[in-house]
Amino acid sequence: MQSVESFRIGHDEVSRPKIADFLLRKRNGLEPLRPEIERWLLSWISSEPLRRADFFETATGNARLMSPMCKKLSETIAIWRKLVAPWAEFLARSLWTGVKSGRNSSPPTRLTQQRRIQGKGKVWKVSVKPPKTDHLCRGCGKTITNGRTNCADCAIGGATEHLVGAARLGRVAAQKREARAKHVASRRRHAKACSEWDASRQPAWLTSEVFLQQIQPLLVGVSTSAIRSRIGVSRWYAGRIREGYRPHPRHWHALADLVNVREGMNTGQ
């Protein structure tokens, strides 16, 4: 029987006077958790911006954490205590085996419920979710939802820069040989369709006045993609028609069908 003045930790037998030294070296049981805590902390500070208001620089140049940051870090104790529990029970079992009580049972596992879980035939393992961190705007430091980089106010400047950059790339791409060739082929195709169009086939009721007064006002409520697919033009040209541009008369009949305008109808009534 092991004496009360010693206990076993792992494969090493340690005397009772060394218990205090053991706990100090293990930092009150937190040393085994250091890799988990450091992994979480490094992941947090490497992926999320930190606010300047969370830190204070002393006259000697040392940085100190402010109360909000300390409070945020202290709230993670509830997570780390679940990882400390197995080590606390391990220490309790080691001390228990050194007591001359003649008892063969081990102390209860109230912190981890290990024995209860294993008694049900399940496999016990330590599994905790890392603490959630606030996702901050990289511009002003406001708390925002995951998946975004900036808040609505700070995103305006970035969106403008992206649009300017995209427009610049679009202008450069439009000057390439392949783009110019496609543009020329499209112009030739539409010029041929205009020259082959027979005005006599246009319904007598579908005049310029009917298009301007009855058809064109209804096109404002039609999507650009619907206009584009109906008459076979580019998205840019379809957008101009939707904004009030009058297209070639060969498109009028198809657009009239798109907005359900028929002969004898008067949409102004």
pTM of the model: 0.39
C-alpha–C-alpha distance, residues 211 and 203, integer Å: 12
What is the model's pLDDT at position 9? 42
Two structure tokens written together for 232: 């076979």
Q: What percentage of the chain reaches a pLDDT higher than 70?
A: 81
The residue-averaged pLDDT of 177-181 equals 81
Tens digits of residue pLDDT in 17-45: 454 455 445 544 556 677 888 888 888 77
Q: How many residues does the chain have?
A: 269
Domain residue limits, the chain: 6-119, 135-172, 176-258
What pLDDT, on the 0 to 100 scale, is given for residue 266? 63
Q: Give residue for tokens 């498109």.
A: 251
Q: Where are the alpha helices (DSSP H) in the chain?
A: 19-25, 34-47, 67-74, 77-96, 114-119, 152-174, 177-196, 208-210, 216-219, 224-231, 235-242, 252-258
Which whole number is the average pLDDT over 69-90? 80
Tell me which DSSP letter residue 107 carries: P
- pLDDT winner (highest mean) among 34-43, 178-187, 242-251: 242-251
Give tens-digit pLDDT for 143-163: 777 777 777 777 776 667 777
Residue with the bigger pLDDT between 30 and 217: it is 217
* Best-predicted range by mean pLDDT (123-132, 187-196, 204-213): 204-213
pLDDT of residue 71: 82
Q: What's CA 261's distance to the chain center, in Å?
A: 46
Q: Rounded to the nearest 10 degrees, what angle do helices 224-231 and 235-242 cross at?
A: 120
With CA atoms as reference, report the closest residue to 240 among 261, 219, 209, 211.
Answer: 219
More confident residue, 2 or 117: 117
Residue 3 confidence (pLDDT) = 39
When pLDDT is cut at 50, 70 and 90, the band that residue 72 belongs to is confident
Would you list the DSSP string of 157-171? Answer: HHHHHHHHHHHHHHH
**pLDDT on residue 11:** 41
Checking if the pLDDT of 8 tops 70, the result is no
pLDDT of residue 25: 52
- 84-96 pLDDT tens trace: 788 777 777 777 7
